Amino acid sequence: MITVYCPHCYTANPENSEACAQCGCSLQHEEEKRFVEKLIWALKHPEPTVGPRAAWVLGERREAQAVDALITTVESSEEMALLEEAVVALGKIADPRAVPCLEQSLRQSYLSVRQRAAWALGRIGGPAVIDALKLALEDPNQTVREAALESLSNLSHRAGRSS
Ligand SMILES: [Zn+2]
């Protein structure tokens, strides 16, 4: 049987318990943590549809603790669907640590991944991002150039509002 340890008194409770049988403290947080860990684990799943779906869910949940795993995925995977979703997730979470791997994807990856990297970098922003997006205006593919242009224009609007 899978057990969940109470973060308070270390009592082993059955999986899916809402509260600790010993002290009554909530176990929902532990459940949540385990769910996110499972999603991160699933990024490397051999079944090709599982990883992309996990990446999508992590992005929708804006899971900051998944950023490192998503970066590793973008740096190491060659699966197009997984790369697409991991790049989008990093854009949604918008952690600046993701900028170098997204720049790399923008320069050299599948067309659909370059396009998403342009979008994701636009969500994160910052001076380094603007240089990378300007370079992408020379991308051989029009969809990528358009995505880069849109991100640049969104970023300049944002800068205009804050100054
Ligand atoms: Zn307890």
Predicted confidence (pLDDT) per residue in 117-156, tens digit: 999 999 999 988 999 999 999 999 999 999 999 999 999 9
Check whether residue 10 and residue 78 sit in a common domain. Answer: no
How confident is the model over 84-106, as pLDDT tens digits?
Answer: 999 999 999 999 999 999 999 99
41 CA → ligand 1 middle, Å: 27
For 54, the domain range is 43-162
Per the domain annotation, does 73 fall within a domain? yes
Q: How high is the pLDDT of residue 74?
A: 98
Number of folded domains that form the chain? 2
Per the domain annotation, does 35 fall within a domain? no
Helix 99-107, helix 67-76: angle, nearest 10: 20
10 CA → ligand 1 middle, Å: 6
Of 159 and 64, the structure prediction assigns the larger pLDDT to 64
Q: How far apart are CA 109 and CA 117, in angstroms?
A: 9
Structure pTM? 0.84
Check whether residue 105 and residue 153 sit in a common domain. Answer: yes
> How does residue 161 score in pLDDT terms, banded at 50, 70 and 90?
low
78 CA → ligand 1 middle, Å: 44
Check whether residue 82 and residue 145 sit in a common domain. Answer: yes
Q: Tell me, what CATH number does 58's domain have?
A: 1.25.10.10
Q: Which residues contact 157 (CB under 8 A, 6 or more apart)?
A: none
Q: How high is the pLDDT of residue 41?
A: 96
